[in-house]
Amino acid sequence: MNSLLALAGTSLLNGGSSSVQDLEERIPGFSVLQDFFKRWLRIDLTTLLTVAALMGAASSGAQSLQDTGSKFYWWIVRFLTASISIAGNDRLNREVLNWLGAHVLAKKGTRILTANSETIQNDAWSYRRVSQERNDFHHEKRMPVQYLPTFGTTWFIHKRNLFMVRRILTSSSHYHSSWTRTPDEYAGAPEGDEPLVVMCIGRSVEPIKRFLNTCREFADKQREAYITVRISKRTYDESWDTTILRPLRPLETVHFDEKIKDALVADIANYLDVNTRRFYNGRGIPYRRGFLLYGPPGTGKTSLSLALAGKFGLELYLLHMPSVRDDSVLEKLFTALPPRCLVLLEDIDAVGIKRRTGRRDDDSSDSDSDDDNDKDDSYDDNDRPRSNCTLSGLLNVLDGVASQEGRIVLMTSNFAEKLDKALVRPGRVDRMIYLGHISQRSCELMFLRMYGPDADGSAPADRAVQLPEHELKRLALEFSGKIPNELFTPAQVQGYLLNYRDSPLDAVANVERWVKEEVEMVEAAKKKERKAAEAKKKKRRERKLKRAARLAEAMRDYDSDKELEDFRQKMMEEKRKKKQKAKQEATEAKIDVEGGTSEDLITKATNGETPNGNLVEGTVLAKVEREAAIAVDEKVNLNGEEVAHNPAPEEQVTITNRVSGDSH
Ligand SMILES: Nc1ncnc2c1ncn2[C@@H]1O[C@H](COP(=O)(O)OP(=O)(O)OP(=O)(O)O)[C@@H](O)[C@H]1O
């Protein structure tokens, strides 16, 4: 085709006639077409082809000119610059971008940037999970926004060398941008895995190497001032995929019993000592250490964990237990831990609490519960968040064969009393630390921290009143004296002080009123809680009565002792399957069944009492067993006969038949 167009072009330039013959030779029937176009359309086909040929030649000429220009440009660039490229997933890549963000973009006032905060997946579910109500308004865990260079080239001068850093488009975004013809930086934001090319005018790479070192040093310095927190956010590839830098929190800013704090720090320091590792290894003791931080919300469990990570220069791996999908995810995340780190397992009490559909480990309510079905099943009856992980899954990662050695596990819980004994046994939890309500001394320290000079010794610029040290101490003492000892959480007091960030005098002046209001609020909340607990208790009692009535009803349908015994066995079997844990406790339970009418016995049994009125230690199974035994006894009584009651051997529940007085 191109040759035909060229021929047409030559034909026009030569006056036409000779080349029409050439064209006729190459395209049979060309003269017929030519006649047709001339007669009917009044167009000279040769001219048309010639114009097209000239336009094609001009465009390909421009293209090749552009190619040549581009080649020349890159040849010059190559000739005049040295460069080092950095892969998208290399840590150095991030460090260079951070340096640029801090030193170039802000100074140059760059107007086209990309912003990073945190990656989200489908968070619809997590918005549903409203956190437990708390009184501090400053429990802020949002990620700061970071501004970085976008696609393209950033120019800057560093140590008298001219540098260019190119952030290169990845193939997918490139396709997108060229398709829509939108400039790269508007076509989409960089995803974080774009390679970088660092170029510098000159024929040596040494200045670039020096620049990269500067970036690394800057990152190290930043790291010293920050704690690296790793979390797992992506739901599809279970890894510690997100890194957050949190400002370092000095341990002194977490207020609780100083002696306990010192002991905890000494314990961790001792554990991290190389000699300790040798000692553990030499004696075949697994080199692990676990701590449980427990107490009400807002008492500093998370803050203490961050402060400890900063103090010992460890990376913090954070897992919020109710958000862990299942045991296999937990295991994968634990397997990916480095040997020396701090793992924070938040809300550990959520493990082992069953969801409404398919309850597991510690459920002590009856199986035929029919209320509360409309409630969000990510919470238990006490509004504690639930986890999909099982207790055995958790124990397995803590000290199973495959569990990593050398790390420190910190677990936090608001409901430590609910934790399984197996979880808190030494080896898994070596030290339990209670973080409770704030003491007056801690209030004083918090006040001083809030209004004292900044960490670097400088006075905060935005403070309206700069008080001398002795005056500040006096105010701190006055402030703490007005706060009841161990009534509020540290978060509450911090929240109050933040309201008077610029005015310590106002903070002291208004504290009594605040205390009064808070106390009233606490009282009201307690009252509400009590009411809710009573209503719950009432409901449970009604359920038990209903069940006991059903049981008694069922008893009436049995004529022979054998049928009765079969029924009892069947019921026992069902309960045994459901209540694995309760079965163990039932082993220890001793139940003394004596005296009382049938109604008495059933009522007492449903209340968790022995027939003689004593409260029985034990579990659901023990209670159910008791009810069954009572019902059996009752049936026997009605029949006027004595029936041997043989509990399954593994239950070892001693039941004294009230008719015979025998114990089995
Ligand atoms: N003991 C404390 N000393 C100093 N500040 C505290 C203390 N406890 C809590 N705070 C402050 O209260 C806020 C919440 O603290 P943090 O998240 O550590 O509490 P928490 O016990 O982990 O709460 P939750 O159980 O709800 O996770 C933080 O801003 C923190 O600075």
Of residues 148 and 587, the one with the higher pLDDT is: 148
Q: Is residue 257 located within the same domain as residue 164? A: no
331-373 residue pLDDT tens: 999 988 888 899 999 999 888 654 444 344 444 444 444 444 4
Distance (Å) from CA 491 to ligand 1 centroid:
5
User: Which of 1-15, 176-190, 241-255, 459-473 has the lowest average pLDDT?
Assistant: 1-15
Query: Could you tell me if the CB of 215 is within 6 A of ligand 1?
Result: no
Asked whether 428 and 362 are in contact (CB, 8 A), the reply is: no
User: Which of 202-216, 528-542, 567-581 has the lowest average pLDDT?
Assistant: 567-581
Atom of ligand 1 nearest to the CA of 256: 1
Model confidence at 269: pLDDT above 90: yes
393-417 residue pLDDT tens: 999 898 877 677 889 999 999 988 8
Atom of ligand 1 nearest to the CA of 293: 21
- Per-residue pLDDT at 338: 87
Instruction: Indicate the pairing of strand 196-201 with strand 289-294.
Output: unpaired
Q: Is residue 25 located within the same domain as residue 50? A: yes
> CB-based burial of residue 393 (10 Å sphere; 0-12 exposed, 13-18 middle, 19+ buried)?
buried
Q: Is residue 6 part of a domain?
A: yes
Distance (Å) from CA 619 to ligand 1 centroid:
36
Q: Is residue 390 located within the same domain as residue 459? A: no
Distance (Å) from CA 489 to ligand 1 centroid:
8
Model confidence at 592: pLDDT above 60: no
- Per-residue pLDDT at 455: 67
Query: Could you tell me if the CB of 297 is within 6 A of ligand 1?
Result: yes
Mutate which of 494, 496, 498, 501 for ligand 1 pocket (most atoms within 8 A of beta carbon): 494
Q: Is residue 314 part of a domain?
A: yes
Distance (Å) from CA 585 to ligand 1 centroid:
37
Q: Is residue 161 located within the same domain as residue 278? A: no
- Per-residue pLDDT at 434: 95
* Closest Cα to atom 5 of ligand 1: 254
Query: Could you tell me if the CB of 233 is within 6 A of ligand 1?
Result: no
80 vs 287: CA distance, rounded Å: 56
62-118 residue pLDDT tens: 888 888 888 888 888 888 889 999 998 888 998 999 899 888 887 777 777 888 766
Mutate which of 264, 291, 299 for ligand 1 pocket (most atoms within 8 A of beta carbon): 299
Confidence of residue 384 (pLDDT cuts 50, 70, 90): low
Q: Is residue 101 located within the same domain as residue 8? A: no
Helix and strand numbers, DSSP H then E, in the chain: 23, 15
Q: Is residue 664 part of a domain?
A: no
- Per-residue pLDDT at 300: 94
Helix, strand, coil % over all residues of the chain, rounded to 5? 50, 10, 35
What is the rounded average pLDDT for all residues in the chain? 76
* Closest Cα to atom 29 of ligand 1: 139
The closest of 488, 475, 482, 487 to 447, measured between CA atoms, is 475
Query: Could you tell me if the CB of 491 is within 6 A of ligand 1?
Result: yes
Atom of ligand 1 nearest to the CA of 131: 26
- Per-residue pLDDT at 441: 94
Query: Could you tell me if the CB of 261 is within 6 A of ligand 1?
Result: no
- Per-residue pLDDT at 4: 55
Mutate which of 139, 229, 414, 489 for ligand 1 pocket (most atoms within 8 A of beta carbon): 139
- Per-residue pLDDT at 590: 38
Query: Could you tell me if the CB of 231 is within 6 A of ligand 1?
Result: no
Looking up tokens 């021929």 gives: 7
- Per-residue pLDDT at 173: 53
286-345 residue pLDDT tens: 899 999 999 999 999 999 999 999 999 899 999 999 888 889 999 999 988 888 899 999
Query: Could you tell me if the CB of 46 is within 6 A of ligand 1?
Result: no
Q: Is residue 476 located within the same domain as residue 622? A: no
User: Which of 105-119, 259-273, 281-295, 368-382 has the lowest average pLDDT?
Assistant: 368-382
Query: Could you tell me if the CB of 254 is within 6 A of ligand 1?
Result: yes
Distance (Å) from CA 24 to ligand 1 centroid:
92
User: Which of 54-63, 102-111, 445-454, 470-479 has the lowest average pLDDT?
Assistant: 102-111
Query: Could you tell me if the CB of 490 is within 6 A of ligand 1?
Result: yes
Query: Could you tell me if the CB of 414 is within 6 A of ligand 1?
Result: yes
- Point out the domain boundary residue: 77, 97, 130: 77
- Per-residue pLDDT at 497: 95
Q: Is residue 416 located within the same domain as residue 482? A: no
Model confidence at 638: pLDDT above 80: no
Q: Is residue 285 located within the same domain as residue 374? A: yes
Confidence of residue 135 (pLDDT cuts 50, 70, 90): very low
Confidence of residue 216 (pLDDT cuts 50, 70, 90): very high
> CB-based burial of residue 430 (10 Å sphere; 0-12 exposed, 13-18 middle, 19+ buried)?
middle
Give mean pLDDT, residues 452-471: 71
Amino acid at 175: Y
Give mean pLDDT, residues 205-228: 89
- Per-residue pLDDT at 162: 92
548-582 residue pLDDT tens: 887 777 777 666 777 777 877 887 888 788 776 66
H or E element at residue 504: helix 504-556
User: Which of 274-278, 291-295, 464-468 has the lowest average pLDDT?
Assistant: 464-468
User: Which of 96-105, 189-198, 419-428 has the lowest average pLDDT?
Assistant: 189-198
Query: Could you tell me if the CB of 494 is within 6 A of ligand 1?
Result: yes
* Closest Cα to atom 25 of ligand 1: 297
- Per-residue pLDDT at 516: 95
19-45 residue pLDDT tens: 667 777 777 777 888 888 888 877 787
Distance (Å) from CA 229 to ligand 1 centroid:
17
507 vs 485: CA distance, rounded Å: 18
599-619 residue pLDDT tens: 444 444 444 444 444 433 333
Atom of ligand 1 nearest to the CA of 134: 26
Distance (Å) from CA 308 to ligand 1 centroid:
14
Asked whether 502 and 462 are in contact (CB, 8 A), the reply is: yes
Confidence of residue 540 (pLDDT cuts 50, 70, 90): very high
- Point out the domain boundary residue: 53, 77, 101: 77
Q: Is residue 622 part of a domain?
A: yes
Task: Count structural domains, the chain.
Answer: 5
Distance (Å) from CA 254 to ligand 1 centroid:
8
- Per-residue pLDDT at 465: 57
Query: Could you tell me if the CB of 299 is within 6 A of ligand 1?
Result: yes
Give mean pLDDT, residues 218-240: 81
Query: Could you tell me if the CB of 322 is within 6 A of ligand 1?
Result: no
Confidence of residue 591 (pLDDT cuts 50, 70, 90): very low
Q: Is residue 139 located within the same domain as residue 176? A: yes
- Per-residue pLDDT at 655: 29
> pLDDT above 90 covers what percent of the chain?
30
Q: Is residue 663 part of a domain?
A: no
Q: Is residue 545 part of a domain?
A: no
196 vs 168: CA distance, rounded Å: 6
Q: Is residue 496 located within the same domain as residue 512? A: yes
Q: Which domain holds residue 190?
A: 87-225
Q: Is residue 235 part of a domain?
A: no
- Per-residue pLDDT at 247: 86
- Per-residue pLDDT at 18: 53
Distance (Å) from CA 586 to ligand 1 centroid:
40
- Per-residue pLDDT at 176: 52
Q: Is residue 27 located within the same domain as residue 168? A: no
Atom of ligand 1 nearest to the CA of 132: 26
Give mean pLDDT, residues 1-18: 54
User: Which of 89-103, 228-242, 321-335, 633-647 has the lowest average pLDDT?
Assistant: 633-647
Q: Is residue 529 part of a domain?
A: no
Distances (CA, A) of 367 to 363, 435, 535, 625: 9, 36, 19, 14
Provide the H-helix boundaries in 421-503: 440-451, 469-481, 490-499
- Per-residue pLDDT at 443: 96
* Angle, in degrees to the nearest 10, between helices 561-578 and 620-639: 170
Of residues 132 and 80, the one with the higher pLDDT is: 80
Of residues 625 and 103, the one with the higher pLDDT is: 103
DSSP state of 354: P
Model confidence at 470: pLDDT above 70: yes
Q: Is the model's pTM score more than 0.80?
A: no
Handedness of CA 117, 122, 337, 325 (dihedral sign): positive
Query: Could you tell me if the CB of 78 is within 6 A of ligand 1?
Result: no
Instruction: Could you list the beta-strand ranges (E) of 40-160.
Output: 81-86, 113-116, 146-149, 152-158
- Report the complex ipTM: 0.98
Helix (H, G, I), strand (E, B) or coil at 133: coil
Q: Is residue 423 located within the same domain as residue 454? A: no
- Point out the domain boundary residue: 411, 434, 457: 434
Give mean pLDDT, residues 425-445: 93
Query: Could you tell me if the CB of 385 is within 6 A of ligand 1?
Result: no
Helix (H, G, I), strand (E, B) or coil at 169: coil
